Amino acid sequence: MLMLLFVLPVVVATSLYLTGWRPSSSGNHGELIQPARPVEGRSLQTLDGKPANFSELRGKWLMVHFGASSCSEECMKNIYTMRQVHAAQAKEIGRVQRVFIATDMGATKRLKAKLADYPEMWVWTGEKKALAEVLHSFGIDAGQPAEQQGIYLVDPLGNLIMRYPPGTDPGGMLKDLTRLLKYSWIG
């Protein structure tokens, strides 16, 4: 009987290993981008027409969301979620920046009015070619609605590392970002 106590765990572990079983859950709540890839965006601009690019924000963790200049209800929910997760960082808030990229240069005055409650969020847009380059670096190809892709997380080195699909629990996003900020030495 005592021998069974020692042998049984080894038999179970070996059978799990040989059948290829792996735990279904990992420690993160978003979709991990593997391998991490650098984000592009050298020819973007602010809504006021000033040049903007991701290299300006090196050294900061970025939460990025794409949407049309009309910014639908789903878009506004994602922007609100980014603000809440950002605000919950307390003393680490300076290490995180929020970025909204308008995928068209349409109603920028209306967009400015909609985003008036989010003054510390960077809002960028660009010409079609520049936007296509940025969308491609985030894995969003032509024809995919960028607004429905959720929220992306970019590390301080400028690499896209995670994606949070629409409807992701903000609490999970908060846990992931808090953990990354706690253990990261790069920004």
- Model confidence pLDDT, tens digit, residues 72-121: 899 999 999 999 999 999 999 999 999 999 988 877 888 888 899 998 99
pLDDT at 24: 61
Q: How far apart are CA 121 and CA 99, in angstroms?
A: 6
Question: What type of residue is 34?
Answer: Q
Of 84, 94, 32, 83, which Cα lies nearest the Cα of 59? 94
Domain ranges of the chain: 27-183
| pTM of the complete model | 0.83
pLDDT at 23: 67
Q: Which two tokens stand for residue 21?
A: 């079983």
Is 1.10.287.110 the CATH number for 27-183?
A: no
pLDDT at 157: 94
What mean pLDDT comes out for the span 52-67? 93
Higher pLDDT, 22 or 110: 110
CA 14 to chain centre: 38
Burial label, 164 (beta-carbon count in 10 A; 0-12, 13-18, 19+): buried
